[in-house]
Amino acid sequence: MDPLQWAIDPWGKIVPIHIAWFLIWVAAIAGLLFVIVHAIYVRYFAKPRQFERDVAPVAPAQIPEHVPRHSLAARAFHWIMAASMFTLLFTAFLPKVGFPFDWVTYHWIAGAVLTISILFHIVHASFFLDFWSIWPDKTDVRDASRRVLRFMGKSAPPPVRFAKYPLENKLYHGAIIAAGLSAIITGAFMMSRVRTIFFPRNPYLFSDMTWGMMYVLHGLAGVGLIALIMVHVYFGIRPEKRPITKSMIFGWMSRDFYLEEHDPQRWTIKTPAASPGTARARGED
């Protein structure tokens, strides 16, 4: 089973042209297996989570009832990106699995929307949000090893509670960056193979070999996104994660959930009681 499709170029050279479309099913089944195994693990085997006790506990009254988590701009970005991602996935893959339609125009329009929204997100996150909140820090690495040791039944102190984002979310964000940017950069070049409003059509921009590899990378990133998005949606609807999903709709999470899951030292919320000199206002990232 060759994962790529090949053709012979005008000079008789064998070049890749696409991924083989059975990889769509491989990705969908991998995503489904992850979901099933995880759901069974959580339901029947996982022990209740334990966190290290706070060195300097925060009085609940110091935390607002509604803890701001995502600004309106960040939420608008998330849902525009989600809509364009789903449009890209459905327009790309439905025709390949037996529902043919004229998909290319819808696809590049959704691709352009995704590209613009990601450009906005890069500027927004770099200059207006807390850029480092989504990258693993030293505490995440230390706690990851504590969690692995405890999972294997060895003795290790419990991890501390999370900063704004748990390590899993940070790693997921990294995987989405790799797959998303691969699809976007190759997709932007591939637009010159079809007629769009952006630039004149020029299918001779690259050699057949380079085009072939570009289509392969685009396809691999695309099928990777099938599995990644299935997993993302699964976590979004799991009961214990619903407060996080709700915060992506309404912008805030409850004080109880914040104090249960997050470490106020690692994700500081501006409180009326805190002095302006010491509090880092990082609520609305």
Interface residues toward ligand HEM, by CB under 6 A: 18, 85, 88-89, 92, 104, 107-108, 111, 114-115, 183-184, 187-188, 190-191, 193-194, 215, 218-219, 222, 225
DSSP summary character for residue 162: B
Q: Which is nearer to ligand HEM, 74 or 184 (CB)?
A: 184
Closest separation between CB of residue 200 and ligand HEM, Å?
14
Closest separation between CB of residue 86 and ligand HEM, Å?
8
Closest separation between CB of residue 225 and ligand HEM, Å?
5
Helix (H) / strand (E) element for 67: namely strand 66-68
User: In the beta sheet, which residues pair with residue 16?
Assistant: 6
Q: Which is nearer to ligand HEM, 67 or 225 (CB)?
A: 225
Q: Which is nearer to ligand HEM, 20 or 279 (CB)?
A: 20
Contacts by 124-130 with C-beta closer than 8 Å and gap 24+?
Answer: 124/73, 124/74, 124/77, 128/73, 129/71, 129/74, 129/285, 130/164, 130/282, 130/285
Q: Which is nearer to ligand HEM, 99 or 128 (CB)?
A: 99
Closest separation between CB of residue 67 and ligand HEM, Å?
32
82: which residues sit within 8 A by CB, 6+ positions away?
A: none
* Distance from C-alpha of 29 to C-alpha of 231, rounded to nearest angstrom: 11
Q: Which is nearer to ligand HEM, 58 or 85 (CB)?
A: 85
* Distance from C-alpha of 67 to C-alpha of 77, rounded to nearest angstrom: 20
